[in-house]
Amino acid sequence: MAETTRLISDRSARRIAVIAMHTSPTASLGQNANGGLNVYVREICAAFSERGIATDVFTRRGPTDPAMEFLASNSCVIYLPAGRDLDKYSLYDQVPAFANQVLGFAEREGSYDMLFSHYWLSGEVACLLRPQMPAGWAHIAHTLGLVKNRTLAEGAHAEPALRIRVEGEISRQADLLIASTGEEATDLVQGYGADPERVVVVPPGVDLSVFQPIDREEARRKIGYGPGRLLLFVGRLERLKGVEVAIRALALLRDRAHDDVRLLVLGEDSKDGDESEMERLKAIATAAAVRDRVDFLGSVAHHELPYFYSAADVCVMPSYSESFGLVGLEAQACGRPVVGSGVTGLRSVVRDEVSGYLIDSHDPATYAERIGRLLDNPELAQQMGRRGRLLAQRFSWTRTADRLEDLFDGVVERAQVRVQAGARQE
């Protein structure tokens, strides 16, 4: 492992330790906590690699993971033991041991110019590493506990005080806080007391070479579906994502003679305690008399998603909270309209009545009405899809990486000044 990592360092102008403790960028999307964070880490590391910037991604080792593997030519994933089969809150107790392993790796393989932490658990790891490493520190929350608690789904558990406290600590200590939207930046400042001078909005992107329209018949052959109209949900199965709303909307559509409409649900099960979200959703579909029209397909490889988006008539996103609407952005890049909730993360990528519909409630009847408009008017759906494709072209991982690289240069320079000043005082 040491030799491989040293070769990476030798080719690189800068080395970044990327902390993604609770979920790996190599994990299948839609499983457990795997989703937009995974895509973000993978895409940014690949973009940095092309710029000669080395990234070592530190994550939790699963039962089949190697000790290390390449993510890109100049990027490695380092798998560290940090407790298996633990939920994210139980993982908090593993943070000190995880941080010590990262520190030990850095002492053996060479120091880093930057820490780039993802999500609150990784931010806490960085909090522990910061005093012991002469590096700058940037953090991206991906989701914020205070925001999630403001818009809880019925029956969902609130984020615990521990998470809110840790997020506040991170917000006040990190050199740079990356927000995906202006609203998230405001939440960091007003909700967590972050210094507005250290909060910068950098929207994520979409790979437009992968996510692009595919002929609908070809896409349906690829995923095994024929005639009939398809609704698509993509994401983890948890109450936060509002899949129940999509199922109840489907039942209302069927009552209105849309008998050929089917809902495809992409994403693995998650559990809240002993409760299986997938089983709960199946029971809701059965009670609503649409179980035969809802297909739970599990997770799929990220590069296969364009076939599902292109095969669908409408992408449905009834989320109670989204820090950034990556699924909506991908759907639009594939030329499909989006019907989703009017949360800030979706408003940043979907334009109401332009590339889809945004709904400021979780009323299934309203969702059914908007979806029905698009199903009954294919020309309108195609028009919104074309507009969505144009909107998506404003977002790219290249642009995101360019901005991050520029910001990180400033953070590294300030960190070096800080270290030199401390050395002179000693």
Q: Which residue has the higher pLDDT, 236 or 83?
A: 236
Say yes or no to pLDDT of 170 above 50.
yes
Amino acid at 40: Y
Give, in words, the CATH class of 216-392.
alpha beta
Tell me the pLDDT band of 415, cut-offs 50, 70 and 90. confident
User: Is 17 exposed, middle or buried (CB count within 10 Å of its CB: 0-12, 13-18, 19+)?
Assistant: buried
Query: What gap in Å lies between CA 333 and CA 305, rounded to an integer?
Result: 11
Say yes or no to pLDDT of 123 above 60.
yes
Tell me the pLDDT band of 105, cut-offs 50, 70 and 90. very high
Query: Which pLDDT value is given to residue 394?
Result: 94
Query: Which pLDDT value is given to residue 3?
Result: 38
Give, in words, the CATH class of 2-205+397-425.
alpha beta
Buried b (16+ CB within 10 A) or exposed e, 30-68: bbbbbbbbbbbbbbbbbbbbeeebbbbbbbbbeeebeee
Amino acid at 113: D
Say yes or no to pLDDT of 274 above 90.
no
Query: What gap in Å lies between CA 96 and CA 102, rounded to an integer?
Result: 10
Structural Rg of the chain based on CA atoms: 22
Q: Give the domain ranges of the chain.
A: 2-205+397-425, 216-392
- Answer yes or no: are the C-beta atoms of 388 and 356 closer than 8 Å: yes
Query: Which pLDDT value is given to residue 11?
Result: 41
User: Is 423 exposed, middle or buried (CB count within 10 Å of its CB: 0-12, 13-18, 19+)?
Assistant: exposed
Query: Which pLDDT value is given to residue 22?
Result: 86
Query: What gap in Å lies between CA 216 and CA 309, rounded to an integer?
Result: 9
Say yes or no to pLDDT of 7 above 50.
no
pLDDT over 90 percentage in the chain = 76
58-74 per-position pLDDT tens digit: 999 887 888 899 998 99
Average pLDDT over residues 319-345: 95
310-330 per-position pLDDT tens digit: 999 999 999 999 988 999 999
373-401 per-position pLDDT tens digit: 999 999 999 999 999 999 999 999 999 99
- Tell me which residue of 252, 265, 324 sits closest to 294, measured CA to CA: 265
Question: What helix, strand, coil percent values describe the chain, rounded to 5?
Answer: 50, 20, 35
Tell me the pLDDT band of 32, cut-offs 50, 70 and 90. very low
Domains 2-205+397-425 and 216-392 share a fold: yes
Q: Which of 88-92, 167-171, 377-381 is predicted least confidently?
A: 88-92
Query: Which pLDDT value is given to residue 169?
Result: 97
CA angle centred on 282, ends 278 and 284, rounded to 5°: 115
- Tell me which residue of 287, 354, 348, 294 sits closest to 319, measured CA to CA: 348
- Answer yes or no: are the C-beta atoms of 250 and 335 closer than 8 Å: no
| Furthest-apart CA atoms within the chain: distance in Å | 78
Question: How many angstroms from the chain centroid is the CA of residue 56?
Answer: 19
Q: Which residue has the higher pLDDT, 7 or 87?
A: 87
Query: What gap in Å lies between CA 126 and CA 341, rounded to an integer?
Result: 33
Query: Which pLDDT value is given to residue 424?
Result: 55
Helix ranges, 274-396 (H): 277-287, 305-311, 326-333, 344-347, 364-376, 378-392
CA separation, residue 33 to residues 46, 99, 130, 270 (Å):
21, 21, 26, 8
Query: Which pLDDT value is given to residue 189?
Result: 97
Average pLDDT, the chain: 91
Say yes or no to pLDDT of 365 above 80.
yes
Query: What gap in Å lies between CA 191 and CA 194, rounded to an integer?
Result: 8
For every residue of 149-189, which 3-state class applies, written as one string? HHCCCCCCCCCCHHHHHHHHHHHHHCCEEEECCHHHHHHHH
Query: Which pLDDT value is given to residue 87?
Result: 74
